[in-house]
Amino acid sequence: MGRNYSIGVDFGTESARAVLVDLESGEVVASHVKDYAHGVIDEELPGLGVKLDKDWALQNPNDYVEAFVIAVKEMLRKAEGVSPDEIVGIGIDFTSCTMLPVKRDGTPLCNLPSLRKHPHSWVKLWKHHAAQKEADRLNEAASRLEDSFLPRYGGKISSEWLIPKIWQILNEAPEIYDEADRFIEAADWIVWQLTGRETRNMCTAGYKALWHKQKGFPDRSFFRSLDPRLENLVDEKLSRDLLPLGSKAGELTGEMAEKTGLRPGIAVAVANVDAHVSAPAAGVVRPGTMLMIMGTSTCNILLGDEEKWVPGICGVVEDGVIPGYYGYEAGQSAVGDIFAWFVKNGVPPAYHREAKEKGLSLHELLEQKAERMGAGESGLLALDWLNGNRSVLVDADLTGLILGLSLDTKPEEIYRAWIEATAFGQRMIMDTFIEHGIPVDRLVACGGLPYKNRMLMQIYADVLNREVSVAAHLHTPAVGSAMFGAVAGGAFGSIVEASEKLAKLKPERFRPNQRNAQIYERLYQEYRRLHDLFGRGGNDVMKLLKQLKRERGVPIAP
Ligand SMILES: Nc1ncnc2c1ncn2[C@@H]1O[C@H](COP(=O)(O)OP(=O)(O)O)[C@@H](O)[C@H]1O
Ligand SMILES: O=C(CO)[C@@H](O)[C@@H](O)COP(=O)(O)O
């Protein structure tokens, strides 16, 4: 008898990554990454000459199908000796909330020639930030509810989420709202394309669409209070029929099988979210371990036995990550993006020359120079809010700050200070969880950064004063999706069982250096003071600076 394999496909912001996982060894035997043909559409609708406003971020749903087909086909080609008959399941994960309006049969409205030129008919990507007005009004209305859902979401709903995005469509393009038979997460839509049937997952419903396992969606009266036309939104254009993570959404259609070279009828798992699906792949299936998915931004996932209200988190959802537990999500809006910004804007020509001579990237050169320093040696302390603060302040209007600059300050000291600032931001998140009764004993990291910068990982271990393990697979979300695919295909009884057999961490752990940890403890106390002063209304100078820019007519990034 042959071996069993499962496929996981992670739909990220720029590309889809497919992996084939051996269900005996847990090894990734083949993988392939396919960039989306149109990437992120944030200036103009491709080939149509329709300009977009500055905080729009759209995608083309046809790119997802194409990326799936090519990534899976290429992955299969690389997996020599594996027969499609040995593949038991497929799981997918997506960025979220990435959503689109469709007809009853799943046709995206942007594929209808009559609606193609209308930006509201396209996919709204997770970082589409143009529904802030709707999010503000929703938060205001929700704060007046007697049994408000806001505390479950850390106190505020983000403009990135489903209801603000739908409401923006209704406000700005009622004709598109009327044409849409369904609004659906791209995660569920791609599963629909694979199986030929519409299903909805509990994870995105819980984190992004205000659904609660016991209470369901907010009442119709709440939606009516937002806009009478939204009263029946859930029944008319969403669904109350939600499937739990780990269940089977359906089977691969003959058409998709033919396009990809797979076998028709393979089990397809219910859709999931990129951050959440990483937990089982990194072995995070019980309370006590905080997962850090570290890349351009950082997402945190943590499990608990009870539903507790933690201020400033993105949300808590029962069964939202691992069935049987409450899944907590938090995050930082910019992490790798800050280092990218500094490397682009803050490094003198001599460093560029040196990096070239040594055959290093600028990141690697700065790491090499900065790792010779100990904690506190740069004389700098920074606030990491260059793209606002997601957790725990939930304030997109905050900006960055660096303190302690002198005429002697070197680029590597500033680079290190930004890394330390992001680690202090993680410490704020971790401490907020602990202060509200959700313990954190261990940390596991995945995403791109842990594989790129060892100094960064050591700084995190020192600042957090905890051991940090790193997930073994670079494509952690795709491996997590493959695990859910294997569960849907019946190879495992539960996702916990799959994780216990297949999850892998790198053998090496980053252990805190006590000398540095003590110094960082002192610096962190100062970070907290600055954090509260500038982030909790003690001094609103950051907002004044933004306001002045607005008054001077300078466009401000979302
Ligand atoms: N050596 C490095 N040290 C620190 N950050 C790095 C390094 N190399 C790249 N980066 C940052 O990593 C980020 C990309 O992370 P990655 O996890 O690969 O992508 P994504 O979050 O888009 O999936 C970029 O923001 C980039 O600035
Ligand atoms: O917000 C979530 C998950 O809830 C992510 O999908 C979103 O931040 C996008 O993550 P990436 O930056 O693509 O890793």
Is residue 47 assigned to a domain? yes
- Is the CB of residue 498 less than 8 Å from the CB of residue 488? no
Distance CA 397, CA 399 (A): 7
Q: Which ligand is nearest to the CA of 447?
A: 1
Buried b (16+ CB within 10 A) or exposed e, 466-505: bebbbbbbbbbbbbbbbbbbbbbbebbeebbbbbeebbbb
Residue nearest to atom 11 of ligand 1 (CA): 336
Each of the 558 residues of the chain gets a pLDDT tens digit; together they read 468 999 999 999 999 999 999 999 999 999 999 999 999 999 999 999 999 988 899 999 999 999 999 999 999 999 999 999 999 999 999 999 999 999 999 999 999 999 999 999 999 999 898 998 999 999 999 999 999 999 999 999 988 999 999 999 999 999 999 999 999 999 999 999 999 999 999 999 999 999 999 999 999 999 999 999 999 999 999 999 999 999 999 999 999 999 999 999 999 999 999 999 999 999 999 999 999 999 989 999 999 999 999 999 999 999 999 999 999 999 998 999 999 999 999 999 999 999 999 999 999 999 999 999 999 999 999 999 998 999 999 888 899 999 999 999 999 999 999 999 999 999 999 999 999 999 999 999 999 999 999 999 999 999 999 999 999 988 999 999 999 999 999 999 999 999 999 999 999 999 999 999 999 999 999 999 999 999 999 999 999 999 999 899 887 665
The pLDDT score that the predictor gives to residue 399 is 95
- Is the CB of residue 236 less than 8 Å from the CB of residue 280? no
Give, to the nearest 10 degrees, the angle between helix 132-143 and helix 162-172: 120
Q: How far is the CA of 445 from the centre of ligand 1 (A)?
A: 14
The pLDDT score that the predictor gives to residue 116 is 98
pTM, two decimals, is 0.94
Q: Per DSSP, what are the bridge partners of residue 292? A: 300, 445
Residue 104, SS3? coil
The pLDDT score that the predictor gives to residue 2 is 62
Residue nearest to atom 1 of ligand 2 (CA): 96
Task: Let me know whether 374 and 443 are in one domain.
Answer: yes
Residue closest to 250 by CA, chosen among 92, 60, 71: 92
Domain finish residue from 231, 246, 273: 273
Residue nearest to atom 10 of ligand 1 (CA): 336
* Count of CB atoms situated within 10 Å of the CB of 149: 17
The separation between CA 351 and the C-alpha centre of its own chain, rounded to angstroms, equals 33
Closest ligand 1 atom number to CA of residue 12: 23
Please state whether beta strands 401-403 and 440-446 pair in parallel, antiparallel, or not at all (unpaired).
unpaired
Q: How far is the CA of 448 from the centre of ligand 1 (A)?
A: 6
Closest ligand 2 atom number to CA of residue 95: 6
Task: Let me know whether 155 and 204 are in one domain.
Answer: yes
Task: Let me know whether 288 and 261 are in one domain.
Answer: no
Ligand 2 pocket: which of 36, 158, 292, 297 to mutate (most atoms within 8 A of CB): 297
Residue 431, SS3? helix
Ligand 2 pocket: which of 11, 35, 96 to mutate (most atoms within 8 A of CB): 96
Residue nearest to atom 26 of ligand 1 (CA): 336
Helix (H), strand (E) at residue 446: strand 440-446
Q: Which ligand is nearest to the CA of 416?
A: 1
Task: Let me know whether 179 and 294 are in one domain.
Answer: no
Is residue 256 assigned to a domain? yes
Closest ligand 1 atom number to CA of residue 361: 1
Distance CA 386, CA 132 (A): 19
Q: Tell me the residue type at 36.
A: Y
Distance CA 170, CA 152 (A): 26
Is residue 243 assigned to a domain? yes
- Cβ of 196 closer than 6 Å to ligand 1, yes or no, is no
Q: Which ligand is nearest to the CA of 294?
A: 1
Q: How far is the CA of 96 from the centre of ligand 2 (A)?
A: 6
Distance CA 116, CA 122 (A): 8
Give, to the nearest 10 degrees, the angle between helix 362-370 and helix 454-464: 50
Please state whether beta strands 298-304 and 50-51 pair in parallel, antiparallel, or not at all (unpaired).
unpaired
- Is the CB of residue 297 less than 8 Å from the CB of residue 280? no
Domain with 9 in it: 5-273
The pLDDT score that the predictor gives to residue 557 is 61
Distance CA 546, CA 557 (A): 10
Q: How far is the CA of 421 from the centre of ligand 1 (A)?
A: 16
The pLDDT score that the predictor gives to residue 285 is 98
Kindly report the CA angle at 416 between 474 and 314, in degrees rounded to 5? 55
The two tokens of residue 21 are: 């996982």
Distance CA 11, CA 17 (A): 7
- Is the CB of residue 419 less than 8 Å from the CB of residue 459? yes
Task: Let me know whether 440 and 541 are in one domain.
Answer: yes
The domain spanning residue 544 has which CATH number? 3.30.420.40
Residue closest to 299 by CA, chosen among 327, 271, 333: 333
Residue closest to 420 by CA, chosen among 376, 450, 390, 452: 376
How many domains are there within the chain? 2
Task: Let me know whether 18 and 154 are in one domain.
Answer: yes
- Is the CB of residue 165 less than 8 Å from the CB of residue 201? no
Q: How far is the CA of 69 from the centre of ligand 2 (A)?
A: 23
Q: Tell me the residue type at 214.
A: Q
The two tokens of residue 426 are: 């993680």
Residues 6+ apart with CB under 8 A from 218: 142, 145, 149, 210
Task: Let me know whether 268 and 319 are in one domain.
Answer: no
Task: Let me know whether 547 and 425 are in one domain.
Answer: yes
Residue 426, SS3? helix
Residue 437, SS3? coil
The pLDDT score that the predictor gives to residue 1 is 46
Task: Let me know whether 266 and 355 are in one domain.
Answer: no
Q: How far is the CA of 93 from the centre of ligand 1 (A)?
A: 20
Q: How far is the CA of 1 from the centre of ligand 2 (A)?
A: 40
- Is the CB of residue 451 less than 8 Å from the CB of residue 488? no
Domain finish residue from 206, 238, 273: 273
The DSSP secondary-structure symbol of 375 reads T
- Is the CB of residue 495 less than 8 Å from the CB of residue 269? no
Residue 267, SS3? strand
Ligand 2 pocket: which of 96, 204, 274, 391 to mutate (most atoms within 8 A of CB): 274
Distance CA 5, CA 388 (A): 42
Residue nearest to atom 6 of ligand 2 (CA): 95
Ligand 2 pocket: which of 13, 95, 128, 207 to mutate (most atoms within 8 A of CB): 95
Q: How far is the CA of 299 from the centre of ligand 2 (A)?
A: 7
Please state whether beta strands 468-470 and 440-446 pair in parallel, antiparallel, or not at all (unpaired).
parallel
The pLDDT score that the predictor gives to residue 325 is 97
Q: How far is the CA of 208 from the centre of ligand 2 (A)?
A: 12
Ligand 1 pocket: which of 14, 452, 454, 474 to mutate (most atoms within 8 A of CB): 452
Residue closest to 503 by CA, chosen among 436, 429, 444, 442: 444
The DSSP secondary-structure symbol of 508 reads -
Closest ligand 1 atom number to CA of residue 448: 17
- Cβ of 340 closer than 6 Å to ligand 1, yes or no, is yes
Is residue 184 assigned to a domain? yes
The DSSP secondary-structure symbol of 151 reads G
Task: Let me know whether 202 and 301 are in one domain.
Answer: no
Is residue 425 assigned to a domain? yes
Domain finish residue from 229, 252, 273: 273
Q: How far is the CA of 12 from the centre of ligand 2 (A)?
A: 8
**Pocket around ligand 2 at a 6 A CB cut-off:** 12-13, 95-96, 126, 273-275, 295-297, 299, 329
- Cβ of 15 closer than 6 Å to ligand 1, yes or no, is no
Task: Let me know whether 249 and 361 are in one domain.
Answer: no
Task: Let me know whether 269 and 372 are in one domain.
Answer: no
